[in-house]
A and B are shown apart, each in its own frame.
Chain A
Amino acid sequence: MNTLFDKIWDAHVVQKVEGGPDQLYIDRLYCHEVTSPQAFDGLRARGIRCFRPERIVCMPDHNTPTHDQEKPITDPVSRKQVDALSANVAEFGLTHYRMNDPRNGIIHVVGPERGLSLPGMTIVCGDSHTSTHGAVGAVAFGIGTSEVEMVMASQCILQAKPKSMRIRIEGTLGKGVTAKDVALFLMSRLTTSGATGYFVEYAGSVVRNLSMEGRLTLCNLSIEMGARGGFVAPDETTFAYLKGRPHAPEGEEWDRSVAFWKTLRSGEDAVFDREIVFDGTEIQPMITYGTNPGMGVPVTGTVPSLDRISEEAQPSFLKALRYMHFHPGEEMIGKPVDYVFLGACTNGRIEDFRAFASIAAGRHRAPGIIAWLVPGSWAVRRQIAEEGLDKVLEEAGFEIRQPGCSACLAMNDDKIPSGKYCVSTSNRNFEGRQGPGSRTLLASPLVAAAAAVTGVITDPRELL
């Protein structure tokens, strides 16, 4: 009661369906090329148009290649899906940041960056990482394609109201510990279903002190704990980030908006369905060893021994280790690595490239390591050049590619070969996620950079 989640959700309830879910009004719908074509087909089959086209913003990101975007996509199946989005946005009169457009990038990087995602909004997209936009103080969550069609048809969605959870992380973070490590730590403690059924408010001094980029990373990974979404109450950090963004309010409207946004906080008397507190000083740089994001340990730690796994969970645990070719009790430090991927909606922002460059500077890519550095958007790509990070990284033997989802889920050409190990700043280490047979180790940009320059899993604190 009286949580920020209640305030935003309740203000968007059009009506409560008798004996059923809430009919929730949606302020912003984002669409990409993978989960939208069948929704557009649905509208055509019903003979209807988008109800509020001005609230819908579309861009391809999953299939886009990370090189030669000025040329047509060579994979005919990917090209067809991207072309289908172009045709659909033209037919239905929607905003479109097409491939190679200077505004294009991964939806969850572009939305906040252009001020399209604002505090107090309800935001959805046919993509589970829509939780990212919660970092600006919005209720943002991923939906299925039938639900995308619902929003296109009515600007509403039928949805049971999730329960509320507050996760407070107090204290401070140690050297070399980033928002990604906080998220991997939370998942390792709560498991991938620990927050299922909940919307999470992140709070506490560690969260307050995170930059917007850090908050976007943290909220991005809410879904990996099972949460529908996660958010941070807007504050001066939020307002400073949003001011001057292309779609942020301006002039008097800005002042009015900030005055309203300042009211967006949980009451002193707020009651959460669940509240958890962690000590930030306990968190170490993290890495995953298994095939779900909850299977993480400190980078200096070991794969758990079998006696620490419950009987029902043992078949899945052993299946994961067989897939990864790891053994219970093994150390993570020193394990050889083949690929490094910096990017994705999790860690494809400017701060992530600064972090990677801080370790790469004056060092060199280790022999045999293949590294893909993929900015989350063209805006990030431009800022990398403005800050001269591209020079630093090139001197260290790293090439910066063009923006897109890339090797996070390998729908374009950026696939990790079967049996190869990839230290990846993305969000999922599921079997085959980065290509059939690929073995993913999730980590922060610092841990990724440390692996890239040494060729093995390394504690980044030794290189800072």
Chain B
Amino acid sequence: MKQKFNIIESTCVPLPLENIDTDQIIPARFLKATTRDERFFGENLFRDWRFRSDGTPDPGFVLNDPRYGGEILVAGKNFGSGSSREHAAWALAGYGFRVVISSFFADIHKNNELNNFVLPVVVSEDFLQEIFAAVREDPSAKIRVDVPAQTVTLVPTGRCETFELNPYKKYCLMNALDDIDYLLLQRDKIEAYESR
């Protein structure tokens, strides 16, 4: 959903597994929807980790742990690998996540998050492990993501890192504009390119 970004301060959901692929974020059988109903995809986020085969919630999975919640997902290295399905980004947005923090993102999924106003924030592996340790200790620990300043802060310890975001995309996120809005204004340049 298009929404303006500024400063987000929230508790987080920690998922300290590496190489979480988009088939886990949203299994293929939920890809048959022909509409972009984020609520539907959000309800099925991490479906096969959240629910046992009999349909009951798996209490061992973090999304079913009442101690954890918030607008920020913190995940292990190489988040979003595999299938290009944008449904994974829709599911994250539909569940209510506005930021995903990891030490490494797969390329296509990272773009998909940005195109759906979910902000991927890359931190060092060391900082990532510190965040996991802090929220394991205290699930109410907050993280502050400051988009204008491009910083991410673990509030209880004050440790802060800057993150990358190109000026164009930052402008889009802070003003709720998408790439199609931009491209539609470029038709003369596209036609000039075609007649080269």
Q: Let me know if A236 is at the binding interface, CB within 8 A.
A: no
Interface string of A75-91 (1 = CB under 8 A from B): 00110110010000000
**Smallest CB separation, A341 vs chain B (Å):** 15
Q: How far is the CA of A25 from the CA of B112 in the complex (A)?
A: 19
Across the interface, do B179 and A18 meet the contact criterion of CB distance under 8 Å? no
Most chain B CB within 10 A, of A38, A42, A160, is at: A38
**Smallest CB separation, A322 vs chain B (Å):** 12
Q: Let me know if A15 is at the binding interface, CB within 8 A.
A: yes
Using Cβ atoms and an 8 Å threshold, which residues of chain B touch A263? none
Using Cβ atoms and an 8 Å threshold, which residues of chain B touch A224? 82
Across the interface, do B169 and A156 meet the contact criterion of CB distance under 8 Å? no
Using Cβ atoms and an 8 Å threshold, which residues of chain A touch B77? 193, 312
Across the interface, do B85 and A35 meet the contact criterion of CB distance under 8 Å? yes
Q: Give the contact stretch, choosing among A141-149, A166-174, A202-210, A244-252.
A: A141-149
Across the interface, do B18 and A144 meet the contact criterion of CB distance under 8 Å? no
Across the interface, do B115 and A411 meet the contact criterion of CB distance under 8 Å? no
Using Cβ atoms and an 8 Å threshold, which residues of chain A touch B115? 144, 146-147
Q: Is the interface of A mostly helix, strand, loop or mixed?
A: loop
Q: Which of A158, A197, A292, A410 contacts B28 (CB 8 A)?
A: A410
B94-113, CB < 8 A from A: 104, 106-108, 111-112
Across the interface, do A430 and B82 meet the contact criterion of CB distance under 8 Å? yes
Q: Let me know if A425 is at the binding interface, CB within 8 A.
A: no
Across the interface, do A23 and B107 meet the contact criterion of CB distance under 8 Å? no
- In the complex, residue of chain A having the shortest beta-carbon distance to the beta carbon of B166: A20
Across the interface, do B27 and A23 meet the contact criterion of CB distance under 8 Å? no
Using Cβ atoms and an 8 Å threshold, which residues of chain A touch B10? none
Across the interface, do B180 and A312 meet the contact criterion of CB distance under 8 Å? no
Q: Let me know if A126 is at the binding interface, CB within 8 A.
A: yes
Q: Let me know if A63 is at the binding interface, CB within 8 A.
A: yes
Across the interface, do A418 and B17 meet the contact criterion of CB distance under 8 Å? no
Interface string of A43-82 (1 = CB under 8 A from B): 0001010010000000000110000000000000110110
With contacts A46-B180, A143-B108, A193-B77 known, is A428 near B28, CB below 8 A?
Answer: no
Q: Let me know if A394 is at the binding interface, CB within 8 A.
A: no
- In the complex, residue of chain A having the shortest beta-carbon distance to the beta carbon of B24: A431
- In the complex, residue of chain B having the shortest beta-carbon distance to the beta carbon of A437: B53
B118-162, CB < 8 A from A: 125, 129
Q: Let me know if A176 is at the binding interface, CB within 8 A.
A: no
Q: How far is the CA of A77 from the CA of B28 in the complex (A)?
A: 13
Q: Let me know if A385 is at the binding interface, CB within 8 A.
A: no
Using Cβ atoms and an 8 Å threshold, which residues of chain A touch B83? 128, 409, 428
Across the interface, do A84 and B34 meet the contact criterion of CB distance under 8 Å? yes
- In the complex, residue of chain A having the shortest beta-carbon distance to the beta carbon of B17: A316
Q: Is the interface of B mostly helix, strand, loop or mixed?
A: helix
Interface string of A1-41 (1 = CB under 8 A from B): 00000000000001101111101010000000011011001
Across the interface, do A315 and B17 meet the contact criterion of CB distance under 8 Å? yes
Across the interface, do B84 and A25 meet the contact criterion of CB distance under 8 Å? no
Across the interface, do A144 and B186 meet the contact criterion of CB distance under 8 Å? no
Across the interface, do A430 and B23 meet the contact criterion of CB distance under 8 Å? yes
Q: How far is the CA of A63 from the CA of B194 in the complex (A)?
A: 36
Across the interface, do B76 and A418 meet the contact criterion of CB distance under 8 Å? no
Across the interface, do B189 and A14 meet the contact criterion of CB distance under 8 Å? yes
Across the interface, do A153 and B27 meet the contact criterion of CB distance under 8 Å? no
Using Cβ atoms and an 8 Å threshold, which residues of chain A touch B107? 162, 196-197, 226, 228
Using Cβ atoms and an 8 Å threshold, which residues of chain A touch B58? none
Q: How far is the CA of A415 from the CA of B161 in the complex (A)?
A: 45
Across the interface, do A316 and B183 meet the contact criterion of CB distance under 8 Å? no
Using Cβ atoms and an 8 Å threshold, which residues of chain A touch B32? 34, 63, 77-78, 80-81, 411
Q: Let me know if A313 is at the binding interface, CB within 8 A.
A: yes
Q: Let me know if B16 is at the binding interface, CB within 8 A.
A: yes
Using Cβ atoms and an 8 Å threshold, which residues of chain A touch B116? 146
B36-53, CB < 8 A from A: 36, 48, 53
Q: Let me know if B35 is at the binding interface, CB within 8 A.
A: yes
**Smallest CB separation, A70 vs chain B (Å):** 22
**Smallest CB separation, A73 vs chain B (Å):** 11
Q: Let me know if A237 is at the binding interface, CB within 8 A.
A: no
Using Cβ atoms and an 8 Å threshold, which residues of chain B touch A430? 21, 23-24, 82
Q: Which of B29, B34, B104, B112 contacts A37 (CB 8 A)?
A: B34
Across the interface, do B76 and A193 meet the contact criterion of CB distance under 8 Å? no
Interface string of A124-146 (1 = CB under 8 A from B): 00111000000000000011111
The 5 closest A-B pairs by CB, nearest first: A20-B168, A19-B167, A144-B86, A146-B115, A144-B112
Q: Pick 11 A–B contacts, CB within 8 A, sort by A.
A: A37-B35, A42-B180, A144-B89, A144-B111, A158-B182, A160-B166, A192-B78, A316-B18, A409-B28, A410-B28, A411-B28
- Since A145-B36, A150-B179 are in contact, a sample of 9 more A-B pairs with Cβ atoms closer than 8 Å, ordered by chain A residue number, is A25-B194, A46-B180, A128-B84, A154-B190, A223-B108, A315-B16, A409-B28, A428-B23, A433-B28
